[in-house]
Structure 1
Amino acid sequence: MLRDIVRGEDPQITATLQVIAEAHPDVLVLQGFDYDLTGAALMAYQRALTAWDIEFPYSFAARPNTGMATGLDMDGDGRRGGPRDAQSYGRFSGQGGMAVLSRYPINTDAVQDFSAMLWRDFPDALLPHEDDEPFPSEEAQAIQRLSTTAHWVVPVDVPDIGRVTIMTFHASPPVFDGPEDRNGRRNHDEITFWQHYLAGTFGPAPQDQFVLMGDFNQDRRGGEGIKTAITTTLDDPRLQDPMPRSTGSDIMTGDPLDTVDWDDPIPGNLRVDYVLPSADWRVLGAGVVWPDPETPLGQAVEIASRHRLVWVDIAR
């Protein structure tokens, strides 16, 4: 894999580089990027980006909850040691993690990582139950973390602007469970986390110059899951929703707001990826890198990922 990143031999990796080059962001959050202890893969990816004229000298990544072994039956199937028995789905520790890349300095000493928070310790947690018993067990709930991947608050120091706070996460998809709705409930609470964070529940929170961005795995207009959290977040007066649009999604479904191309008809295309600036920013532009699928860039976008890159241009 590292060789493929350096040489650009993997078609999917090359396609992701092309998509990022099209957006040419100042700050980028990568979702589904495997974490390794030394950061070798991320450094190789940064080097590969330089060939596309994109310099990200600063980065942050930490061990995610994906693939973190628990030794318990976490999904209630009566077995242990499977990918769903980790803190969240993963065949190995760090599979499908996150990373932040930036043109500007990241204050890594001031990063807040809430990924170790236990779900049961979260305020008003919607813990799953089955037949009035904790699901899958009291023992499992005693160690189950809230974050599917991570919840990070990452300070970036931008010249002439100052501290910009990036709040990011990757929530659980509200599917692949049973009547206990374990994943749907977890998705709701992972999104709701940011309401509590901004309210100061977990300590001082930024009052301005922040951006909430990530894979919410939730669409207020359709798909499965509990809609309360995403609706409350999108309607929060501390945030603004630039409603990024794309030509490709409009061509495919007639809905330019979608950000992911899933199998039709279920779950179908949905809007699950968001970049939500705080209310004090001026939004200069917004969009989703999803051009006409018949164009060369459109074909690269399809190879890169089912999820499309969402961008927002902001200023003071």
Structure 2
Amino acid sequence: MRVATYNTELERKGPGLLLRDIAKGDDPQVKAVIEVIKAADADILVLQNIDYDLTGAALEQLVRRLDDYPYSFARLPNTGMGTGLDMDGDGRLGGPRDAQGYGRFSGQGGMAILSRYPIVEAKVQDFSELLWTDIPGALLPEVDGAPFPSAEAVAAQRLSSTAHWVVPIDTPLGVVHLLTFHATPPVFDGPEDRNGRRNHDEIIFWQQYLDGAYGDVPSDRFIVIGDANLDPLDGDGLKPAIRSLLRDPRLQDPSPTGAAGTDTADWSDPTPGNLRVGYILPSADWQVVDRSVMWPWPDDAFWDVVQEASRHRLVWVDLNGG
């Protein structure tokens, strides 16, 4: 069974624009993303940075173009969800950083799952409404010992910048639980390190979840999968979060590689360079058969396609029941 994660960067600057671009059939980026997805040939695919709309029309159009995934799942993300508060401390209201997660409109840059196998929607666990203050040991932002930007803002802030889902899928290898998320970048803030701290806690959440802090936990055949927006070695951010997750004995790190090693994103113009931010971490009971980052060499014919599609590269892992 091939499982994949891909930050498509299909988000658009206004509602309905992604639906327009997919439906018209000639958008270069959309065509490139579809080509990458088809080349990966994954049985289960987790997508980030794909706009959510209430009727699911954009995702439906994408599924129709792919013609390979009878099952799909998406819910309203925290991105662009208004709070009515100044969440970033700039003294203004209604900006994209004043939402529960960065976004110009509600649903911008959400998440979705595509699958060849049935998704057990009735048993999905959605932790996206969990308040940041409610997680054990939360690294809440402060300036001079005071909550940043205000006690009211901190009290209203959800942990998930996009979403945290546990999604069961009924596969030929048994029910598989996807523990999926898209964490905020640990940058674009000030000395309070609001985004860096939130990124840390969004990642640490999964270890707390596996510890049983938030309810029932699958005993086997689960996969932490998504965009952590944190490299264990390079770039900004609080590295202990991702290092701890990678070392967790309940998980294994297949370390998929491409032409840029284990890196999965190309931010080389001009900084911070290539980073590993996309992860597939199967539970320890899986047998890893193969893995890859779809990052071809520049002289490969597929190079132009992946460059057109996204600054991120699709990551896949082949798994057997163990």
- Please tell me the root mean square deviation across aligned C-alpha atoms, in Å: 1.0
Give 1:68's match in structure 2, choosing from 74, 81, 94. Answer: 81
**Counterpart-to-counterpart distance in 2, 1:30 and 1:241:** 20
**Counterpart-to-counterpart distance in 1, 2:282 and 2:208:** 17
In the other structure, the counterpart of 2:41 is: 24
Mapping of residues 119-134 of structure 1, within 5 Å:
119-134=132-147
**Aligned to 2:319, what secondary structure does the other structure show?**
strand
Deviation at 1:27, TM superposition (A): 0.3
One-letter amino acid of the structure 2 residue matched with residue 24 of structure 1: D
Deviation at 1:294, TM superposition (A): 3.0
Deviation at 1:3, TM superposition (A): 4.3
- 1:4 aligned onto 2:17: no
C-alpha contact 1:6 1:47 (8 A) present in aligned 2: no
Distance 1:181 1:3, change over 3 A: closer
Mapping of residues 1-316 of structure 1, within 5 Å:
1-50=18-67, 55-159=68-172, 161-247=173-259, 249=260, 256-316=261-321
**Counterpart-to-counterpart distance in 1, 2:171 and 2:46:** 16
Higher mean displacement: 182-191 or 291-300: 291-300
In the other structure, the counterpart of 1:253 is: none
Deviation at 1:132, TM superposition (A): 1.2
Q: How many residues align?
A: 304
**Counterpart-to-counterpart distance in 2, 1:35 and 1:196:** 28
Distance 1:294 1:8, change over 3 A: farther
Deviations 1:40-78 (A, max 9, x none): 00010000002xxxx111111000000000111000000
**Counterpart-to-counterpart distance in 2, 1:120 and 1:258:** 32
**Counterpart-to-counterpart distance in 2, 1:232 and 1:15:** 35
**Counterpart-to-counterpart distance in 2, 1:267 and 1:203:** 38
One-letter amino acid of the structure 2 residue matched with residue 168 of structure 1: T
One-letter amino acid of the structure 1 residue matched with residue 165 of structure 2: W
Q: Which has the higher contact order (CA 8 A, sep 6+)?
A: 2
Task: List structure 1 segments (4+ residues) > 3 angstroms apart after TM superposition.
Answer: none
**Aligned to 1:261, what secondary structure does the other structure show?**
strand
One-letter amino acid of the structure 2 residue matched with residue 213 of structure 1: I
**What are the ranges of 5 or more consecutive residues in structure 1 without an aligned counterpart?**
250-255
**Aligned to 1:168, what secondary structure does the other structure show?**
strand
C-alpha contact 1:87 1:148 (8 A) present in aligned 2: yes
**Counterpart-to-counterpart distance in 2, 1:2 and 1:59:** 16
Scaled by the length of structure 1, what TM-score is found?
Answer: 0.94
One-letter amino acid of the structure 2 residue matched with residue 44 of structure 1: Q
Higher mean displacement: 126-135 or 263-272: 263-272
**Aligned to 2:284, what secondary structure does the other structure show?**
coil
**Aligned to 1:79, what secondary structure does the other structure show?**
coil
Deviation at 1:4, TM superposition (A): 3.2
**Counterpart-to-counterpart distance in 2, 1:3 and 1:184:** 34
In the other structure, the counterpart of 1:252 is: none
Identity %: 64
Deviation at 1:265, TM superposition (A): 4.9
